[in-house]
Amino acid sequence: MPTRRIDVTTWYLEQTDPGDLRPAREPDVAVEIVRAEVPSPELSRFLYTAVGGDWHWTDRLPWSFEQWRNWLDRPGVETWVAYARGTPAGYVELDPQAEAQVEISYFGLLPAFTGRGLGGHLLRTGAARAWDLADRWPDRKPTRRVWLHTCSTDGPAALRNYQARGFRVHDVRTRPETVGHRPPGPWPGAHDSRT
């Protein structure tokens, strides 16, 4: 795939108190957000490619089954999946870290579900689950900080959504990166069939 060199800006955002979390409007579609309690490399890879394929998410594409399993088997890692009428619509992945911090390591919607108010609702739910993570993992201390990052190659509504839910920018960095001329899509050839 042809590549190009671009400047990518990354915004690092955080909440330092559960009271920072702001509500979101109700989505236009009925949705159920459920924790995937059984670590599943297949499900996580599907969500990662289906959501991130249009946004240059490529860092995990070369991961083996065992790498996915090792990531998901860590205590406190959680995947929360939004379902609309039984269909996966998006997900939030929580990564517990040292010093009672939780990173929202991945978040997003499948393309068919964008623009329906689901993103704010899913993000609010995911951030709330980051704040109460210790309730489900008794060996963890209560969460003191929830953080995430987004960049200029992510969806155009991402930064606005994070800020609307009460996340504050605490750092901004810009660096040159090499990306494909087009995002890879959810699987080889899928991008061509959607254009």
Give mean pLDDT, residues 79-93.
Answer: 96
Question: Does some domain include residue 171?
Answer: yes
Per-residue pLDDT tens over the stretch 134-164 = 999 989 999 999 999 998 877 888 999 999 9
Among candidate residues 47, 82, 43, 50, the one with its CA nearest the CA of residue 65:
43
pTM, two decimals, is 0.90
Domain total for the chain? Answer: 1
Q: In b/e form, how buried is each residue of 96-107, taking b as 16+ CB within 10 angstroms?
A: beeeebbbbbbb
Question: Does some domain include residue 30?
Answer: yes
Q: What is the CATH number of the domain that holds 24?
A: 3.40.630.30
Question: What is the helix (H) or strand (E) element at residue 15, kind and residue range?
Answer: strand 3-15
**Most confident listed range (105-109, 174-178, 182-186):** 105-109
Question: Does some domain include residue 151?
Answer: yes
Instruction: Assess whether pLDDT exceeds 80 at residue 96.
Output: yes
Mean pLDDT across the chain:
90
Name the pLDDT band for 53 (thresholds 50, 70, 90). confident
Name the pLDDT band for 195 (thresholds 50, 70, 90). very low
Torsional sign, CA 45, 34, 191, 189: positive
Question: Does some domain include residue 67?
Answer: yes
Share of the chain above pLDDT 70, in %: 90
Question: Does some domain include residue 2?
Answer: no
Question: Does some domain include residue 193?
Answer: no
Name the pLDDT band for 189 (thresholds 50, 70, 90). low
Question: Does some domain include residue 184?
Answer: yes
Residues sharing a CB contact under 8 Å with residue 46, sequence separation 6 or more, in sequence order: 88
Give mean pLDDT, residues 87-92.
Answer: 96
Residues spanned by the domain of 126: 9-188
- Res 121: pLDDT: 95
Instruction: Assess whether pLDDT exceeds 70 at residue 45.
Output: yes
- Res 15: pLDDT: 98
Instruction: Assess whether pLDDT exceeds 60 at residue 192.
Output: no
Question: Does some domain include residue 29?
Answer: yes
